[in-house]
Amino acid sequence: MRKTISTKVVYENKYFRVSEDRFIHPHDEEEGSYAYVEKSTAVVVVALDEADRIFFVKQYRYTVDAESVELPIGKVEGNEPPLEGAKRELLEETGLSASSWNLLGVLWEVPGWSSSSAYVYLARGLSRSSRRLEHTERDMTDTTISLAEVRGMIAAGEIRDCLTISSLCLHMMQG
């Protein structure tokens, strides 16, 4: 294991913090530095309707200047358990609640530069109410897509979000 000498916060806002550590490398005892992003734990929901179609959201993403097709994804707030965060995000983004929840797995989002992980849940037994979108999600729409169509969309580059694709892989491996 590495030995951390010091940690300096380089930048921080309400969404994430960028830190830089000075450390002793565990293999050669050399001193080094490493910058990384710390953010809240994420939750991802693979929500299946009675015909096994998957619910997706579409929204504009500023960083890639394009619309993105994604599973419902959000962050755990405060000390909220990941399952409660998943339930809240599914309701906010799609207006759906589910009677059955199963943890599919926990993913490291981008371990090369972030310490964040994502809990991936399968939701079934869906019922619809009204969405509770945040202001930044005002352009978000939701849709259902069959798994066969999803595979084609991934192959065609129409679904490019890494958390979405890896969460779908977890679902397909366990389904």
SS3 for the chain is CCEEEEEEEEEECCCEEEEEEEEECCCCCCEEEEEEEEECCEEEEEEECCCCCEEEEEEEEHHHCEEEEECCEEECCCCCCHHHHHHHHHHHHHCEEEEEEEEEEEEECCCCCECCEEEEEEEEEEEECCCCCCHHHCCCEEEEECHHHHHHHHHCCCCCCHHHHHHHHHHHHHC
Q: Which CATH class is domain 42-174?
A: alpha beta
pTM of the full structure: 0.90
Residue among 20, 80, 92, 137 flagged as catalytic? 137
Per the annotation, the verdict on 137 as an active-site residue is yes
Domain with CATH 3.90.79.10 in the chain: 42-174
| Per-residue pLDDT of the chain in tens (175 residues, 90 and over written 9) | 779 999 999 999 988 999 999 999 888 889 999 999 999 999 999 999 999 999 999 999 999 999 999 999 999 999 999 999 999 999 999 999 999 999 999 999 999 889 899 999 999 999 998 766 666 666 778 899 999 999 999 999 999 999 999 999 999 998 6
